[in-house]
Amino acid sequence: MGFAKILCPIDFSPSSREALRVAARLARDSSAPLVLVHVWEPPRWSSGEIQLAPGVLQDMLDTEDAELQRWKANAQELGAREVGARMLTGVAWDQIVAVASRDPAIDLVVMGTHGRTGIKRVLVGSVAEKVVRHAPCAVLVTRAPADSE
C-alpha cells in the first residue's frame, strides 16, 4: 500500500523515536513526502501572573527547533527522501489534526503513544487518542519497546 504524504508528530520521546522509524520506512517504500511536526505547548503557568522573559521563551523554542532539525536529519538517514519539519505552538492534538485537515495530500499520520492507563491517562490525557478520534485520515499509533520507556 502506498501513501501520498505522511505526517509524523514528534515529542522527542522514545515512543516518537519508534514512530519516526516506522514513518520514515513507509515514506521510503511509498516514495511519499514525510512531514515532521513538533507542537510546543507553552507552560500553563507562564500565562498567568508568572511570566517568562521573552529571551527565555525564545531560547526554549530555539532548543526545540534544533532538536527537530536533528530528527529531520535522522528521518533522511532512515531513508525518507523528502522530509519537511514544522514547529507549531498550541494544543498538540488540535494542531496535529489541523495540519492533517489543511493538507488533503496527507493520508496517514504515524505517531507514538506513551501507553498511559488509569489515572495518569485521565490526568494527562492522550494526544494519540484525540488525534485518532478527530483526524481526517488514517492514524497509525506505535509504541516504543518496553525497555526504552
What's the pLDDT at 123?
Answer: 41
Task: Of 79, 118, 121, 86, give the one whose Cα is nearest residue 102.
Answer: 86
| Domains of the chain: total | 1
The domain that holds 134 is classified in CATH as 3.40.50.620
pLDDT of residue 103: 97
Q: How much is the pTM?
A: 0.87
Tell the residue number behind the cell numbers 514528534, with chain if given. Answer: 10
Q: Annotate 44-80 with b (16+ C-beta within 10 A) or e (fewer).
A: eeeeeeeeeeeeeeeeeeeebeeebeebbebbeebeb
Task: Supply the range of the domain harboring residue 127.
Answer: 5-148
Q: pLDDT (tens digit, 9 = 90+) per residue, 52-99?
A: 677 887 888 899 999 999 999 999 999 999 999 999 999 999 999 999
